């Protein structure tokens, strides 16, 4: 019985978190899908960033990532530049427009994090992060 309660609690947390993020991003009135936001976040955080980096991080195949990137390029949110370390690949960079969007999304992330962690002590958050990371490792181990 405890197993189901723990799993159900995680499902509820993930669902509510995704819903909050989606609703808040929708209010920004930008034409960017949630998966595209994830890609922008990766590019924003990792510099230099290549398509392979994104595929590895999202655990998606190259073709899926290529489609995501092509949409973002078409929307003018990212650009490709030559990779100085590897002439066979290209680095991805956010445009000024997507940097403005990321600033708004970072504010949303902060707001949701503050709301989500309200009333929790630092040691509770640390324990949660430790347990969550162990669960991720367990699920990624086959």
pLDDT > 60? residue 1: no
DSSP letter (8 states) at residue 66: H
Alpha-carbon span 55 to 66, nearest angstrom = 9
- How confident is the model over 15-20, as a mean pLDDT? 92
CATH topology of domain 2-140: Arc Repressor Mutant, subunit A (1.10.10)
- How confident is the model over 106-125, as a mean pLDDT? 95
Q: Quote the mean pLDDT of the chain.
A: 90
- How confident is the model over 70-90, as a mean pLDDT? 91
Q: Give the pLDDT confidence of 27-55 residue by residue, as tens digits.
A: 888 888 888 999 999 999 998 899 999 99
CA distances from 62 to 66, 83, 99, 115 (A): 6, 18, 24, 36
Q: How many residues does the chain have?
A: 142
Q: How many helices (H) and strands (E) does the chain have?
A: 6, 2
The domain limits of the chain are 2-140
């Amino acid at each position: 019985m405890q197993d189901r309660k723990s799993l159900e609690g995680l499902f509820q947390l993930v669902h509510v978190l995704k819903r909050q993020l989606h609703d808040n991003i929708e209010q920004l009135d930008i034409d960017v899908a949630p998966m595209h936001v994830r890609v922008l976040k990766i590019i924003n955080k990792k510099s230099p960033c290549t398509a392979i980096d994104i595929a590895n991080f999202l655990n998606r195949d190259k073709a899926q990532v290529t489609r995501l990137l092509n949409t973002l390029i078409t929307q003018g949110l990212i650009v490709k530049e030559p990779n100085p370390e590897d002439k066979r690949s290209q680095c991805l960079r956010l445009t000024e427009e997507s940097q403005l969007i990321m600033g708004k999304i970072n504010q949303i992330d902060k707001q949701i994090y503050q709301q989500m962690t309200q009333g929790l002590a630092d040691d509770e958050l640390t324990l949660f992060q430790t347990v969550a990371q162990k669960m991720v490792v367990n699920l990624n181990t086959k």
